[in-house]
Amino acid sequence: MRFESKKPGISTMGDKIELWKALKKSPRYLYLIGGFHGDEVEGVYVLNQLFKWLSNEDQGLEMNLPMVVIPILNTDGYRMGTRCNATGVDLNRNLPAKNWSESHQDAKYHPGKKAGSESETSYLVKRFKKWPPYLVMSFHSWKPMINYDGNLQVVAEYLSTYNQYPVCDDVGYETPGSLGSYCAESLNVPVLTLEYPRISKDLSLAEIWNQNEEGLKELFMSNLLAPHNF
């Protein structure tokens, strides 16, 4: 597949937020987003490996999906190794969802002064308006899990047959201002949140990719992600 670099966003500290768009034009797009949380390098790595594969024209891939790829949304946090962005805001609690709340019990979930206050989330919302999504896949790392908002159970269970990660439609606690909340409530768009295990002395980034490579490639070569399914 062929992608072109589009106008980047600018982080709080002036870093570029890269965005790549497939050449295929469409009224709606599949979004792949990594690095909402800067300390979740595992999700960023998996998306990077997937994007390399998708971008390799020698693969002769036939799916030709309309896609938008943001490899790292929280570029400042990624550089600093922090969950939050440079102003200490959790970008996955800062989206202008109907359930956004300034209340939080832990600094790592700080939602910002107001919904959509951060330059990173503002950029993402503007991209959603310019190139409307039909499905969003968000790459994270916490513990192995495939979480879905909306009509994505079939897709989640398909991936689970390969990596054996548990599938759930509820992570067990409230997530006001999250990507899943915003897309489901404001855009009526389903979100697939891929949670990968953390690296350790017994588990490397390459091994995490190996756990997921086959399933992700098979998913993208299937018709499960085609726009007409959503």
Burial of 223 from C-beta contacts in 10 A (0-12 / 13-18 / 19+) = exposed
State residue 138's pLDDT score: 98
Q: With contact defined as beta carbons under 8 Å apart, do 192 and 137 qualify?
A: yes
Model pTM? 0.96
Phi, psi dihedrals of residue 80, rounded to the nearest 5°: -85, -15
One digit per residue, the tens of pLDDT, for the chain of length 230 reads 889 999 999 999 999 999 999 998 899 999 999 999 999 999 999 999 999 999 986 655 556 799 999 999 999 999 999 999 999 999 999 999 999 999 998 999 999 999 999 999 999 999 999 999 999 999 999 999 999 999 999 999 999 999 999 999 988 888 999 999 999 999 999 999 999 999 999 999 999 999 999 999 999 999 999 999 99
Which ranges in the chain belong to alpha helices (H)? 41-55, 75-80, 119-130, 153-163, 179-182, 205-221
State residue 174's pLDDT score: 84
In the 8-state DSSP scheme, what is residue 183?
I
Q: With contact defined as beta carbons under 8 Å apart, do 91 and 34 qualify?
A: no
State residue 84's pLDDT score: 98
State residue 171's pLDDT score: 83
Residue 51 is encoded by which pair of tokens? 């994007």
Torsion over CA of 80, 86, 88 and 89, rounded to 10 degrees? Answer: -110
Torsion over CA of 204, 207, 208 and 214, rounded to 10 degrees? Answer: 170
Residue 124 is encoded by which pair of tokens? 């993402």
What contacts 27, CB < 8 A, 6 or more positions away?
A: 132
Beta-bridge partner residues of 49:
none
Side chain identity at residue 112, one-letter code = G
In the 8-state DSSP scheme, what is residue 172?
S
Beta-bridge partner residues of 168:
147
Nearest 5 degrees, angle CA 161-CA 163-CA 169? 75
State residue 24's pLDDT score: 86
Per DSSP bridges, beta strands 20-22 and 191-196 are unpaired
